[in-house]
């Protein structure tokens, strides 16, 4: 796949994801921070404003501020830079594989923007569940990362199945 095509897919995913993520976080902060949690669809979906200084499930939230910044801002920036180089230079299996990597990059960028401009914290506001069985509070960027990971796993299996058929000579 040409570099221009890769960059176009990456740019589209990043602008779309980061745009939706930042706009939704702005509304969450300006509305939910003052109104409190809101429940919809028989409490299946909750909007609940939270600022997370850690990562998933608040891991690392208790670390000293300078260590959190080093891990979650500098570390994330380095990982995203490496992912960007990989996306541009690697021979991606197909467009879905590239989209998966682009969604992971875009979600990471959305949360990194929060960490840089919100003193190391990420705004979360979505919660799903039934009764006491609930997810952690998350955001649009987290959804992009999760969907990207699932898509990456699926496309990785597709690619290995194709490679196995090519190696064994099994017709496709």
Active-site residue, selected from the candidate residues 21, 114, 132, 142: 142
132 carries an active-site annotation: no
Q: Which whole-number Å values give the CA distances from 43 to 33, 57, 140, in the listed order?
A: 19, 21, 19
Q: How is the beta sheet containing 38-40 ordered, strand by strand? A: 38-40, 45-52, 122-130, 133-134
Instruction: Give yes or no: 124 in active site.
Output: yes
Residue 90: CA count within 13 A, CB half-sphere:
14
Q: In which element (H, E) is residue 157 found?
A: helix 140-168
| Residues 6 or more apart in contact with residue 27 via CB below 8 angstroms | none
- Cβ atoms of 140 and 24 within 8 Å: the answer is yes
- Tell me the C-alpha distance between 106 and 80, whole Å: 9
Give the C-alpha distances (Å, rounded to integers) separating 165 from 71, 91, 93, 105, 114. 42, 19, 15, 31, 45
Of 21, 43, 91, 124, which one is the catalytic site residue? 124
Active site residues: 124, 142
């Amino acid at each position: 796949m040409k570099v221009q095509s890769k960059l176009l897919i990456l740019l589209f995913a990043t602008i779309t994801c980061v745009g939706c993520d930042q706009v939704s976080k702005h509304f969450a902060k300006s509305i939910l921070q003052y109104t409190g949690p809101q429940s919809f669809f028989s409490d299946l979906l909750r909007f609940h404003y939270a600022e997370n200084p850690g990562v998933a499930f608040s891991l690392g939230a208790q670390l000293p501020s300078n260590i959190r910044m080093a891990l979650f801002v500098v570390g994330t920036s380095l990982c995203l830079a490496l992912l960007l180089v990989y996306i541009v230079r690697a021979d991606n299996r197909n467009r879905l594989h590239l989209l998966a990597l682009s969604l992971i990059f875009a979600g990471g960028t959305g949360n990194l923007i929060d960490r840089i401009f919100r003193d190391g914290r990420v705004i979360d506001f979505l919660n799903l569940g039934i009764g006491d069985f609930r997810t952690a509070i998350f955001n649009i960027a987290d959804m992009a990362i999760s969907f990207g990971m699932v898509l990456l796993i699926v496309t990785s299996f597709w690619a290995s199945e194709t490679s196995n058929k090519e190696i064994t000579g099994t017709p496709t």
